[in-house]
Structure 1
Amino acid sequence: MSAKKSKGFKKEAGTGKMKSIKGEKPEIEYRFYNPIDTKYILYSEIFKKGSDFEKNINLLFSRLIPEISSERSENKGKHLDFVIKEFDNFKNKLQIFSLLSSRRESFIKSLEDVGFISRGFSALCQWRLIIGLGGVHPEETSMTLHHIYGIPYIPGSAVKGVTRHWAVLKFADRSGQDVNRISNALENGENLDIEVEGIKFSDLIEIFGTQGKVGRVIFMDAYPLREDAINLKIDIMNPHYPDYYSGKQPPADWQNPNPIKFLTVEKTHFQFYLISQDSSLLQKSEVLLKEALGKFGIGAKTSLGYGIFEI
């Protein structure tokens, strides 16, 4: 690699002022592209491959963002239609789920070989499910898609989180104590003398862990059972008082509704797995998880019926 003379700057001792200097700068053999160049490079690569090759849906959804236009809502709808179309093309051609299932079973088997126990069950989302709606996304509304496989899934952190929240609500309701009191005690590992339907509060501490202690139950990511049974659908939320929500005016009936489109998963089976070295804690965790999925729901907008599962 050759070098060439270039001008630079450095701070002058004692004064803090910048002083011009001459130095050796290696001549690089690559270029930095600006966004407009990147767009055309991406387009040219897609056109070279043709429109029928399988694409990573997560990249299409979160990175290939359409140009801004005056008809933003219509433009976003077309983008989501494009994502769904490409996903249908993707799922009908690849057998990724058989490979994913084999990998997951191999992982569980390796844990069972060293003393862990697993429990799994499948559940059907009765209507629609949206995980990660409030995540960072250039078009306001997001959705959790696997960054490698490009498929919708429920992260294990979300599965554990909703199970823990359901357990807190259940214990608070049955004991008559404040929800925050129950949650803080669980977070800090403070054992309360409460037992609900055969599950002690000490069991919750062991299952979920505390700030200083790891939980003894592993909540696995939940994946759809089959690629051909994943249904992506566009849904709409329709804020009727946009000027009120933006802090400009009080709510009033003459303000124009502002429909916001977002992506959901509809009527899809998911496979859930729990892993632990304690069979008793594993059984109690499964009970709480099934109750949470069937009675409380997981993801966004559960109060409107989203994310409710049929076990």
Structure 2
Amino acid sequence: MTFNRDNQSLPTWLEKLPKGFQPNNAASFVEYLRWMRSPQPVIESSSAKGDKQNQQENNLTKVQVLQMAAEKAGGYKKRLETLNQRTQLIAGKDNTFEVECAWRMRVGGQTGPENILLPAFDALGIPYIPSSTLRGVARRQALWEFTQAILDNILQQKAKITQQEREEANQQAEKHVAQYFGSLEAEEKDCAGKVIFLDAYPLAKQWGVEKRGLAVDMANNIWSWDQDSPKYSPNPNPFLSLNKPIVLIGLRPTARCDQDTFNQVKTWLKKGLQSGVGSQINTGYGQMHVKGEQNNPQPFFEVKFILEGQLIHGYKRFRNVRKPLNTKGKPDDYAEAEVRPIAFKSMLSYWFRTLALGFLPVAQVKTWECQLFGSIQPQTQGWIQFNITDAKNPRTSEQAKDKPCLKQQGTLKLSYSREAPTTQAERDTIRNLLVNLTWLMFHLGGVGQGARRPLYSRKNRQNPKPPYYRGSRLRANEKDLWWQLPDTPGEFKSRFHQRLEDFCTALATLSDQQVNPRSLLPVPRLSQKEWREAVDSNCQIILCSGKEQFDKPHALALLHSDKLKITNRKGDRIYDPDLCGHTGDRSPVWIADLGNYQVVTVFGIQHSKRQEFLQLLQEKTNPDNYHRIFPLA
């Protein structure tokens, strides 16, 4: 099924509609699924180009139908009023409470056409939190608290807990939990739970207010492991989530439940909701605020930031969802600017992996990356949760030529997840690792689109075309002495070395391995064309400063200079892909502009082109302003 270029009045995924059928604004997205089918590519050509075009058109229909579903979700309000009233009547007024999601939420769900991830919908297609999910949240919180109490008692008698003791503690906690939530393996009196959990629906009076409700979201798993090598393969997938919903929660005691038991289960549920409900809770999803309660988790580290340039984005949005193509037959869309915690989590994970590969064996790097940041395979939450508060996005997502550069800002907060170790020594190690890693991330590159390049302007060129600004400038709040930039490159070199050494010290303690920043592991044998993103002996980090050229910082101007360009088949002079990357792949060069100087990271320096760039950088930079800060002397 190809993209509907002629008649764009209806969703292009809808099958032939029955005669006289008219979509209703109050109808849910799920109701339309019965008329939908997974689009089948029409292979008009045996060439790869034909396959690619069909895939692009299928992706466009996917985004179009999701955007239409989100825009029509305002019709749910009347039904939600009925559902809210039903919850209050069944539970009783004193047994309900409201929770507000700090950002987005994705609970349960199913896989729809074209593998779209859909949140949980009830039988009539209204998004909700199933009662089974709420029970699981409360039970998990109770299990965690019981287990921790047992382990704390053991730690008072000995310094270290064995794996067997952890398993035994969990088994004892399971028996305690069964008294509240029931279990088929428990005694007869505890087989059934003592509290009834009701399905939870968004609050009708707040639905649609301040963009609360069904919203298109985007997941992009950029990196994966291909045996022992990190593999770069962006794969953006749009899906539906709930944006900042306020949800009405209802509980009801059974005849066998006393008031103390009921209050205890309610407390566990509130604490569990504050930790997060649904998927991706370590990146800000599903974390609920309970009115009048102290909200968890409390951060162990936070930093205010300002990001300028191409920014962090969610999904691409059509200007007119009914007419998604412009007069030239191209998608008439734009990227929705949004401060997303997952962008910072992904960047910190990237730099952890990139730095650690120079000091630890690959198997250990994979293990610790998964342990700290979480993973899909194996499914692990991770020890660190990432949140952003006070987020501010520009009023528009599109950069105008005559306007200042767009910017985003907020406060990045790092906290321990429920999976993190609980001893103070282990937490101090994790904190030291993440604090120094965050400092290094802020000074080695940006975040979001264009993260590998410093911010520069294109608007003063002859006949400029968007984007009028490219690259990324990430700045921390410099009122804090920790984040104040030294005035000279020499001072920054000393600061950088101290942060790297502190990171390595924490990494050595965490992994129980020897980690010396001046003693790098042997690099796997690679051809001249091959390179890996690792701060190892095939990597150099240069600190330099010089005159700006063509509105570009000194280091970037040299990277883009005519001397390093190549001639393509059409005879045009273009940037060398061995230095600047190419469509669908990344550049082996990172450049961060820190104002008075730039930090240049070059991977795979065995390649002749990168050696040529490093040589040019040294030749064109005053010796007093050129410092090699890695490898350490």
Tell me by how many angstroms 1:250 deviates: 5.7
Letter of the 2:246 partner, please give it.
H
Equivalent position of 1:23 in the other structure = none
1:252 Cα offset (Å): 4.1
- 1:97-131: CA deviations, max 9, x gaps? 2322333334346xxxxxxx962110100100001
AA of the residue aligned to 1:67: P
1:31-110 correspondence runs (5 A): 39-40=15-16, 43-45=17-19, 48-60=20-32, 64-65=36-37, 67-68=39-40, 69-71=54-56, 72-88=58-74, 90-91=75-76, 95-108=78-91
1:33 is aligned to: none
Q: Which residue of 2 aligns with 1:128?
A: 104
Paired with 1:257 and 1:105, the residues of 2 have a C-alpha distance of 45
Give the greater-gyration-radius structure (CA): 2
Between the aligned partners of 2:24 and 2:32, the Cα distance in structure 1 is 14
Within the candidate set 251, 256, 263, 1:283 is matched to: 263
Contact 1:84–1:233 under 8 Å retained in 2: yes
The 3 A distance-change label for structure 1 pair 180 and 152 is farther
Normalising by structure 1, report the TM-score.
0.67
Report what 1:30 is aligned to. Answer: none
The residue type equivalent to 1:95 in the other structure is K
**Aligned amino acid, residue 285 of structure 1:** V
Are residues 62 and 137 of structure 1, via their aligned partners in 2, closer, same or farther at CA, if it must alter by over 3 Å? farther
Shift of 1:235: 1.6
Q: Secondary structure at the match of 1:210?
A: coil
Residue 147 of structure 2 is aligned to residue 147 of structure 1 = no
SS of aligned partner of 2:18: helix
Pairing partner for 2:197 from 216, 219, 222: 219
Judging changes above 3 Å, is the alpha-carbon distance between structure 1 residues 272 and 52 closer, same or farther for their aligned structure 2 residues? closer
Closer/same/farther in 2, CA of residues 70 and 44 from structure 1, 3 Å limit = same
Structure-2-length-normalised TM-score: 0.35
Map of 1:169 onto structure 2: 144
* Separation in 2, partners of 1:233, 1:120: 26
- Which of 260, 278, 285 is residue 299 of structure 1 equivalent to? 278
CA contact 1:62–1:138 (8 Å) conserved in 2: no
User: 3-state DSSP class of the match of 1:95?
Assistant: helix
RMSD between superposed Cα atoms in Å? 2.8
Residue segments in structure 1 that go unaligned for 5+ positions in a row: 1-37, 110-116, 190-200
> Percent of pairs identical after alignment?
23
Q: Shift of residue 156 of structure 1?
A: 0.6
How far apart are residue 218 of structure 1 and its match? 1.1
From 244, 247, 263, the equivalent of 2:240 is: 263
Q: Following the alignment from structure 2 to structure 1, what is the Cα–Cα distance between the partners of residues 194 and 260?
A: 11
Deviation at 1:62, TM superposition (A): 7.5
Partner of 1:233: 215
Cα distance, 1:53 vs. partner? 4.7
- Number of aligned residue pairs: give it: 238
Equivalent in the alignment of 2:451: none
How far apart are the structure 2 equivalents of 1:285 and 1:261? 36
Aligned counterparts of 1:250 and 1:258: Cα–Cα separation in 2? 21
Task: Tell me by how many angstroms 1:52 deviates.
Answer: 4.5
In the TM superposition, 1:188-203 aligns within 5 A as 189=175, 201=176
Equivalent residues of 2:203, 2:246 under 8 A apart: yes
Match of 1:6 in 2: none
- Give the drift of 1:66: 5.4
1:83 offset after TM fit, Å? Answer: 1.2
Task: Identify if the C-alpha distance between structure 1 residues 101 and 121 changes in structure 2 by more than 3 Å, giving closer, same or farther.
Answer: same
Distance (Å, rounded) in 2 between the aligned partners of 1:297 and 1:210: 24
Say if 1:169 and 1:179, in contact at 8 Å, map to a contact too: no
- In structure 2, relative to structure 1, the CA distance for the partners of 1:144 and 1:223 (3 Å cut) is same
CA distance in 1, matches of 2:219, 2:282: 14
Higher relative contact order (CA 8 A, sep 6+): 1
Name the SS of the counterpart of 1:154 in structure 2.
Answer: coil
> CA–CA distance in 2 between the matches of 1:95 and 1:250?
54
User: What is the alpha-carbon distance in structure 2 between the residues aligned to residue 61 and residue 182 of structure 1?
Assistant: 46
SS at 1:236's partner residue? strand
Contact 1:218 1:274 in 2 (8 A): yes
Name the CA distance, whole Å, in 2 between partners of 1:102 and 1:125.
21
Counterpart of 1:24 in structure 2 is none
User: Is residue 118–residue 273 contact of structure 1 (8 Å, CA) maintained in 2?
Assistant: no
**SS where residue 70 of structure 1 aligns?**
helix
Q: What's the CA shift for 1:138? A: 3.1
